[in-house]
Amino acid sequence: MGEFFQSLAAHSFLRNALFAGLLASVACGVVGTWVVTRRITVIAGSIAHAVLGGMGAAYYLRVVKHWEWLSPLHGAVAAALLAALAIGWMKSRGDEREDTVISAIWSIGIAIGVLFLFLTPGYKTDLMSYLFGNIVMVDAGALRLLVILDAIVLLAAAAFYNPLLAVCFDEEFARLRGINVQFFYTLLLCLTALTIVTLIYVVGVVMVIALITLPVSVAGRFSRKLWQMMLLSALLCGFLTTAGLAISYQPDLPVGATTILLTAVVYAAVSLGAGLHQRMHRRASTTAAADREGDKT
């Protein structure tokens, strides 16, 4: 791992990768907290896969139709926002088959992606990088985009912390207080969509959900307020992406997969630790209760 830090000074691509991981962690911690507490991780999964369709279409248009100005990222952002708006609009209609449509968007996204990739010559080898991320290929332009996405997420979090908390905690009550629940729910979905696009650059489509939920779940165990959960999960996410990069560097392992497995290990360890702690705590209190019983007799 020491070699990683030496190489960090020498290679700009490694520095870019490090910054990309840290920048993505900010959005991940903030939006992940909303996604987990509002229980829309499946929607996040659906949006993440719809992104693949947008990327495939954009790549096709760029390579085959020579739309040089169009990058896969544009396609990704467009597809993610489109999926978010569609799901938000469906909820506003009170459609009871919400989960069906969410699953449909999921698979249609992949299908479109695969179809366009098939039609685009010479692209197939790059598919792996969109599935599992290509953090070491992030350039300055992508870093700028990550900064912009972070700014949007943080601005929204600062401005609408209270109504978003209310919408996540008790939607009906928020509506009664005159909060435009539909607006804030759709805003939440759009922020989720933008964050997913951010994270795809770090860990890829397949891994997005793990990174947006697991660090947040760990942070949730140590938080009493929503902003604490956001801060803690952003810090944890930053640590995990950095550690994933460092660990995978020398053996030349795929960064995305390494990061996710590291995240899973931390999640499992904390869950296990919490379970043990709870059991011991319970045993301690029952022993204490038994002692009190003993004193009485």
Partner 1 sequence: MTAPDVTTVPAVSIRDLWFAYDGPPVLREVSFDLAAGDFVSIIGPNGGGKTTLLKLLLGLLSPTRGSLRVFGRAPDAARKRLGYMPQQISLDTSFPVTAIDIVLMGRLGNGFPAGPFRRADREAAETALRDVEAHDLRNRGFFSLSGGQRQRILIARALASGPDLLLLDEPTASLDPAVQDDLYELLTRLNRRMTIMLVSHDIGVVSKHVRTVVCVSGQVAIHPVEAISGELARVLFHGAEDVKLVRHDQCEGGHPGHPPGTRHATHTTAGHSERR
The distance of closest approach from Cβ of residue 293 to partner 1 in the complex, given in angstroms and rounded to an integer, is 21
Count how many residues are written for the chain: 297
Instruction: Figure out which of the listed residues 11, 97, 177, 283 binds partner 1, where binding follows CB under 8 A.
Output: 177
Name the H helices within the chain: 2-10, 12-37, 41-63, 72-92, 98-119, 127-132, 140-159, 161-169, 171-176, 181-203, 208-220, 226-249, 255-296
Instruction: Figure out which of the listed residues 163, 242, 253, 270 binds partner 1, where binding follows CB under 8 A.
Output: 163
Instruction: Figure out which of the listed residues 68, 96, 172, 293 binds partner 1, where binding follows CB under 8 A.
Output: 172
141-160 binders of partner 1 (CB under 8 A): 158-160
If binding is defined by CB under 8 A, does position 179 make contact with partner 1? yes
Q: What is the DSSP string of 201-219?
A: HHH-TTTHHHHHHHHHHHH
If binding is defined by CB under 8 A, does position 225 make contact with partner 1? yes
If binding is defined by CB under 8 A, does position 97 make contact with partner 1? no
If binding is defined by CB under 8 A, does position 176 make contact with partner 1? yes
Long-range contacts of 161-169 (CB under 8 A, 24+ apart): 161/226, 161/227, 164/34, 164/188, 165/226, 167/38, 168/34, 168/37, 168/38, 168/226, 169/37
DSSP 8-state class, residue 97? T
22-81 binders of partner 1 (CB under 8 A): 37, 39
If binding is defined by CB under 8 A, does position 173 make contact with partner 1? yes
Q: Which of 267, 151, 144 is nearest to 201 (CA)?
A: 144
If binding is defined by CB under 8 A, does position 182 make contact with partner 1? no
Nearer to partner 1 by Cβ, of 130 and 184: the residue is 184
Taking the C-alpha atoms of residue 155 and residue 30, their distance in angstroms, rounded to an integer, is 11
Name the H helices within 161-225: 161-169, 171-176, 181-203, 208-220
Instruction: Figure out which of the listed residues 92, 162, 286, 287 binds partner 1, where binding follows CB under 8 A.
Output: 162
The distance of closest approach from Cβ of residue 247 to partner 1 in the complex, given in angstroms and rounded to an integer, is 30
Number of chain positions touching partner 1 (CB under 8 A):
29
DSSP 8-state class, residue 94? T
If binding is defined by CB under 8 A, does position 129 make contact with partner 1? no
Instruction: Figure out which of the listed residues 144, 221, 277, 279 binds partner 1, where binding follows CB under 8 A.
Output: 221
If binding is defined by CB under 8 A, does position 277 make contact with partner 1? no
> Residues interacting with partner 1, by CB under 8 A?
37, 39, 158-163, 165-166, 168-170, 172-179, 220-221, 223-226, 228-229
